[in-house]
Amino acid sequence: MPDSIINCSDPKSADVVLLGANYDVTSSFGKGADKGPAAIIGCLDKQIEFYERFTKTAPADQLKIAYHDLGDLNTLLPEAMVERVRGIYEEYFKAGKFLVLLGGEHSVSNGPWQAMAKREDAKGITILHIDAHFDLRDTDADYHDEPFGKFAHSCVMRRAVELGFNTTHVGVRAYSKDEYDFAKSKGLAIFEWGQGETPTPEEIIATIKTDKVYLTIDVDGIDPAHMPATGTPVQGGLEWYYTLQLLQKLFQKKNVIGADIVEVAPRAADTLTEYGAAQICYSIIAYKFMSSGL
C-alpha cells in the first residue's frame, strides 16, 4: 500500500492529476481561499482513508494520483491567472488525464472551461454547478469600488454560459435580481434550496441532456454545518450525504470529464471544511473509476 493517496510524483505518468490553484484576489467577503489547495492536499496526504466505503474500492491502490501545484497565482490579475490555469489544464486534458482542480476562489474555474471549449464543442457539455450563489453577474461593479471586471469570482458562470456550455445550478439561495432575470431569460436549470421539497438526485440529473458533464463545487453550496470555512457562507444548503449520493448517481449516469472544488478558506482550529473537500475529491476519483473493476 502506498503511504499517501498522492502516490505519483510525475503528473505526466499519472491517471489522475490534482491541480492546486492558489488564488484569492477578487473574492468579496472572507479571504483565505488561496490556502485551500494546500489544506485539501494535506488531508488527502494524511487523513483520508484509502478505502472509499460507498464504492467499496481503494482507488489509490490501483491508480496513479499526482498533484501539480500551480504556485502563487495571487500576483496575477484575473485575466492572466485564467490564462495560466487554462494553459496548464489544456496540456493535461489533451493528454487524457482526469483532472480535479482545487481552489482557490471560483474564478479559477474559467481556466478549465476555456481549455475544454478550445478542444470540445461546449454545447455538448453541461456544467453541474453546486453553489449557494448563481455567479452570473456580468461584472463585479455593483459591489466593488474598484471592480476586477468579467473574471471576478461572482461572474464565473456567466462566462461559462457565454462559452456555450449548458448549466444546471444546484443549492442556489443568494443572488441579485439581475442574476435571476438572466438565468430565467436563458432558461437555465435551477434548483433553489429552501423553497419547497428538496429535489431528488434523479430529478437534478434529468435536466442534464448531454452525456459529458463537468462538475464544479463551490463548498458554500453545501450546508455550512458541514463546510463552515468558506468566504461567503450562506445558511442552509446541501446535506453531506445527499451531496455524496448526488455525485455518485451523476457518475453512474454521465461521463464526467473533469471537476473542481473551490472556495475552501481554511481557518485555525477548524479542519472540517478541508477534510470534507478532500473526502469529496477522493470520492469523485472512486466514482469515476469504480466501473473499471478497482
Q: What is the pLDDT of residues 1-43, one digit of tens each?
A: 468 999 999 999 999 999 999 999 999 888 999 999 999 999 9
Please report the pLDDT score of residue 171 as a whole number.
98
Q: Which residues contact 181 (CB under 8 A, 6 or more apart)?
A: none
User: Does a cis peptide bond (omega within 30 degrees of 0) precede residue 196?
Assistant: no
Report pLDDT digits (tens) over 130-149: 999 999 999 876 776 676 77
Please report the pLDDT score of residue 140 as a whole number.
75
135 a known binding residue?
Answer: yes
Please report the pLDDT score of residue 292 as a whole number.
47
**CATH architecture label of 11-292:** 3-Layer(aba) Sandwich (3.40)
226 a known binding residue?
Answer: no
CA dihedral 223, 226, 230, 234 (to 10 degrees): 20
Please report the pLDDT score of residue 291 as a whole number.
61
And the C-alpha cell for 122? 461546449
**CB distance 262 to 103 below 8 Å:** yes
Please report the pLDDT score of residue 10 as a whole number.
98
145 a known binding residue?
Answer: no
Locate the domains of the chain by residue range.
11-292
Residue 140 φ then ψ, to 5°: -100, 20
**CB distance 191 to 243 below 8 Å:** no
Please report the pLDDT score of residue 170 as a whole number.
99
133 a known binding residue?
Answer: yes
The ranges of the chain with pLDDT < 70 are 1-2, 141, 144-145, 147, 291-294
220 a known binding residue?
Answer: yes
